[in-house]
Homo-oligomer: A and B are copies of this chain.
Amino acid sequence: MIVGGVQVINAGLPLIVEGVPAPDVTQLDWRPPAFSDLAAARAMVALDDETTAAANAAAIAAVHAVRPRVVGIRPARAVIGALAGPKRTMLHAGPPIEYSRMCGPMRGALIGAALLEGWAATPAEAEGAIAAGEIAVEPCHHHGAVGPMAGVVSPSMPVWQVVDDTGPAPRHAFATLNEGLGTVLRFGAYGPEVVDRLRWMSEVLGPVLDAAVRASEPIDVTTLIAQALAMGDEGHNRSVAASALLARRLAPAIAPLDGAVEVLRFLAGNDHFALNLSMAAAKLCMDAAAHVPGSSLVTVMSRNGVEFGIRVAGTGDRWYTAAVGPAVGLFFPGYGPDDANPDMGDSAITETLGIGGFAMAASPSITSFVGGTPADALAASRSMRRITLAAHPAFPLPPLNFAGSPSGIDVLKVLDTGELPLINTGIAHREAGVGQIGAGIVTAPPEVFLAAVHGLAAARGVET
């Protein structure tokens, strides 16, 4: 006996089943692969073979084998070669971009750094020197470094130095120290209070933390992140647990040092302090797969406020870029979407590894900050699992019954599913120096994955 007549499953446009009673239709959420780009779809299919699978398995295994440990906090010039030379050089977030095309906040941050270094006496002079190329600007990612938002690193700034010493030669990665919220360089502010704080960070904060780290038990950053994921951090927009654990752990070694009270007060007031350390660790992990021939693993996602760029293991240092939009989220009172700068910063290295937006499930509280509900957070992590190579074995997400966080974005899976990587991010005002005006979620643009699949096919010499 057939009860209730015909049941329809529709994989096409809803238009096709118009006229069929709605309760009888199951609409499949299906879209053509590769964002409907036929050439990319062909390349995707051609690359979906055992060679890619083996390369991807090797790549993600290399990433997950890294256990970043903090070496210390050193002046950038002492540990990043490009900043030690006679040529005046600064680093910035995202893929390469010349000064004339940069957004306001990134320009502001570079001006502030030039003032900090004493390379210019006024903002105008700084701007002139950078525009004229007397001060070089290069991406952090070209030098093993990462920085949030504008991501500017100049020689005197103290940086986290993390090491992977499990391989034949030790590898390092670097990130600046987090300045806190408010009027800060990374959002493009460069007034006296900003430069004075940076100077204090160079002269007091950096050396005190360095001495404390060296006097303490080694800090295993993987364990710190895992603990924080069990404490409501997702590791990008929310780092309060990691920051508090880090401060508590370093406090006994900080206490006897000159400047201890100021440093401990700074740590007590900075809920994002551990973000930059997580970023350095994520960079170190992803660099382990920076050059794996044949692998479609995304090793870098980053934004410079104008373009979104990715790098892929199988094509090494090559960037695939596309225009980036602003994040969608919630604004602080008095601001709105018209004030927002397009998304910016190297902090998406956290999502590249598999925390941040990918670990949203761990952080129901972040949803009320970026807009959304705890159910959205679970859905976000589940959907990111569809485009990643593995669950990270060291990052269990308690609310998902301790399943590992989705880790290792696969270009082919992104094209196959049409799911785009989600990034939790702060929203900067488009004018230099106004600062953070909100927080939200940005998705990587499809174009970078479409370009990457052709790059991978060409590198493999695969006919498409």
Interface residues of A (CB under 8 A from B): 3, 230-233, 240-241, 243-245, 247-249, 251-252, 254-256, 260-261, 264-265, 267-268, 364-365, 368, 373-375, 398-402
Contact = CB atoms under 8 A, between A and B. Distances in A.
Nearest to A249: B268
A252 B269 CA distance: 11
A160 to B, nearest CB: 19
Contacts of A232: 230-232, 241, 398
12 contacts: A3-B3, A230-B232, A231-B240, A232-B232, A232-B398, A243-B248, A248-B248, A248-B268, A251-B268, A252-B265, A255-B260, A374-B399
Nearest to A367: B398
Contacts of A398: 232, 364-365, 374
A173 to B, nearest CB: 26
Given A244-B244, A244-B248, A251-B264, 19 more contacts: A231-B231, A231-B232, A231-B241, A232-B232, A241-B244, A244-B245, A244-B247, A248-B267, A249-B268, A251-B251, A251-B255, A251-B267, A252-B261, A252-B264, A254-B255, A373-B401, A374-B398, A374-B402, A375-B401
Contact of A374 (B241, B265, B267, B401): B401
Contacts of A243: 248
A254 B263 CA distance: 13
A327 B412 CA distance: 51
A200 to B, nearest CB: 15
A230 B401 contact: no
A251 B247 contact: yes
A246 to B, nearest CB: 9
A247 B398 CA distance: 25
A268 B364 CA distance: 26
Contacts of A375: 401
A399 B399 contact: yes
Contacts of A233: 231
A338 to B, nearest CB: 30
A400 B373 CA distance: 10
Contacts of A252: 261, 264-265, 268
Contacts of A260: 255-256
Contacts of A254: 251, 255
A230 B365 CA distance: 6
Report, nearest first, the 5 A-B pairs whose CB atoms are least far apart: A364-B398, A244-B244, A252-B264, A247-B248, A252-B265
Contacts of A248: 243-244, 247-248, 251, 267-268
A264 B251 CA distance: 6
Contact of A364 (B247, B261, B399): B399
A302 to B, nearest CB: 29
Contacts of A251: 247-248, 251, 254-255, 264, 267-268
